[in-house]
Chain A
Amino acid sequence: AQSVAQPEDQVNVAEGNPLTVKCTYSVSGNPYLFWYVQYPNRGLQFLLKYITGDNLVKGSYGFEAEFNKSQTSFHLKKPSALVSDSALYFCAVRDGMNRDDKIIFGKGTRLHILP
């Protein structure tokens, strides 16, 4: 069975500092990993994904994520945080062994960027 964990409910970062939002996963086969962002009263927006290849994946709005197979992690990062990055971030995983497209989402991490 596939699962994903976001160990932090909330992360506070000062504007201009680097940010990291943590995610760990568990799957039987190869993982397909995704990050989404949700702004207030909006739907989720796709940020980036890892399917295969380079462990460092670059996405929208200057975000990137590092896939670490040995630690089963896929942490979201940004070198310099903006106040506008404040939002709810979801990590999601799909087990590449499954024939269906069921994606499991983490509970979300609320990111606060302090001016």
Chain B
Amino acid sequence: DSGVTQTPKHLITATGQRVTLRCSPRSGDLSVYWYQQSLDQGLQFLIQYYNGEERAKGNILERFSAQQFPDLHSELNLSSLELGDSALYFCASSVAGGGSSYEQYFGPGTRLTVT
């Protein structure tokens, strides 16, 4: 158990809908990262938050947004969902941000299926 929790584990929704994925980092970790894992694209970095502020952005679509709250949990919002958004979404956390060498610890993921 990495100490990173994600809810829900599974999510099935229809095209055009909006969903919210939630992540709680390990105790003491300030950084939260979001990744999308699909069969054809591999593991894609979406976005990082550090202590409530956006720190780095990857291949995140405009239909997707995220935030990190004062208690350090994070939410990833996915809107106008398309079939191609079906994937595993992982959250990870690490102790620090801003050029650190610390490893990331991953949650169990949320499997999103868009029908």
- Indicate whether B108 reaches chain A with its CB closer than 8 angstroms: yes
**Could you say which interface size class chain A belongs to?**
20 to 34
Looking at the assembled complex, report how far the CB atom of A43 sits from the nearest CB atom of chain B, in whole angstroms.
4
- Indicate whether B55 reaches chain A with its CB closer than 8 angstroms: yes
Instruction: Check A101 against B99 for contact (C-beta < 8 Å).
Output: yes
**Could you say which interface size class chain B belongs to?**
20 to 34
Contact with B along A17-31 (1 / 0, CB 8 A): 000000000000000
Instruction: Check A103 against B45 for contact (C-beta < 8 Å).
Output: yes
Instruction: Check A104 against B103 for contact (C-beta < 8 Å).
Output: no
B48 is contacted by which of A32, A51, A102, A107 (Cβ under 8 Å)?
Answer: A102
* In the complex, residue of chain A having the shortest beta-carbon distance to the beta carbon of B44: A105
B101 is contacted by which of A46, A51, A99 (Cβ under 8 Å)?
Answer: A51
Measured between beta carbons, the chain A residues less than 8 angstroms from B96 are 101
A-B CB contacts (within 8 Å), total count: 66
Instruction: Check B56 against A102 for contact (C-beta < 8 Å).
Output: yes
Instruction: Check A42 against B108 for contact (C-beta < 8 Å).
Output: yes
Instruction: Check A45 against B106 for contact (C-beta < 8 Å).
Output: yes
Most buried by A among B35, B90, B100, B103: B103
Instruction: Check B45 against A102 for contact (C-beta < 8 Å).
Output: yes
Contact with B along A90-106 (1 / 0, CB 8 A): 10001010111111111
Measured between beta carbons, the chain A residues less than 8 angstroms from B2 are 43, 45
Measured between beta carbons, the chain B residues less than 8 angstroms from A32 are 101
Measured between beta carbons, the chain B residues less than 8 angstroms from A100 are 48, 55-56, 97-99
Q: Using a CB-CB cutoff of 8 Å, which residues 52-103 of chain A contact chain B?
A: 90, 94, 96, 98-103
Measured between beta carbons, the chain A residues less than 8 angstroms from B109 are 42-43
B residues near A (Cβ < 8 Å) are 2, 4, 31, 33, 35, 42-43, 45, 48, 50, 55-56, 58, 90, 92, 94, 96-101, 103-109
- Give 12 new A-B contacts, CB below 8 A, not counting A45-B2, A101-B96: A36-B106, A43-B92, A43-B106, A43-B108, A44-B92, A46-B103, A100-B48, A101-B31, A101-B33, A105-B42, A105-B43, A106-B42
